[in-house]
Amino acid sequence: MINAEFRSEERYCRLLLSYDKENEKKSLCEKVDLVIQKYAYKPEIYTTSRPNGIEILVVEYHDDCNRQAGQIFEEIIKILDITNFN
């Protein structure tokens, strides 16, 4: 199961997508890439691990003056079929 968490400050947005299975990782990365490729505004993307075996894909936008990231994040949430997130 993929979990999502959203954080935002002035001109900065971050979407954290956590997963614990290798097959989730592949599907998650493919779908996120599909959405991001549609836009000229590119995020900083990286992964991090937690000690309990959970990995997190982090999608960050800096200097988001036009607030484009919100639309992109909504599309990512929709394509991943996530209905409950923080």
CATH number at residue 62: 3.30.1360.10
pLDDT band at 86 (very low <50, low <70, confident <90, very high): low
55 beta partners: 19, 49
- pLDDT at residue 48 in the model: 93
Q: Measure Cα distances from 84 to 1, 13, 17, 73, 77 in Å.
A: 11, 18, 12, 14, 10
Could you tell me if residue 84 is inside a domain?
no
**pTM (predicted TM-score):** 0.88
**How many domains would you assign to the chain?**
1
Q: Which domain holds residue 28?
A: 3-79
Q: Measure Cα distances from 76 to 50, 52, 59, 73, 83 in Å.
A: 22, 25, 10, 5, 12
Could you tell me if residue 18 is inside a domain?
yes
43-70 tens-digit pLDDT? 999 999 988 889 999 999 998 777 889 8
Q: Which whole number is the average pLDDT over 10-17?
A: 92
- For tokens 């990365």, the residue is 29
- For tokens 């992964």, the residue is 47
Does residue 22 carry a pLDDT above 90?
no
Could you tell me if residue 86 is inside a domain?
no
Q: How do strand 12-19 and strand 44-49 relate by DSSP bridges?
A: unpaired
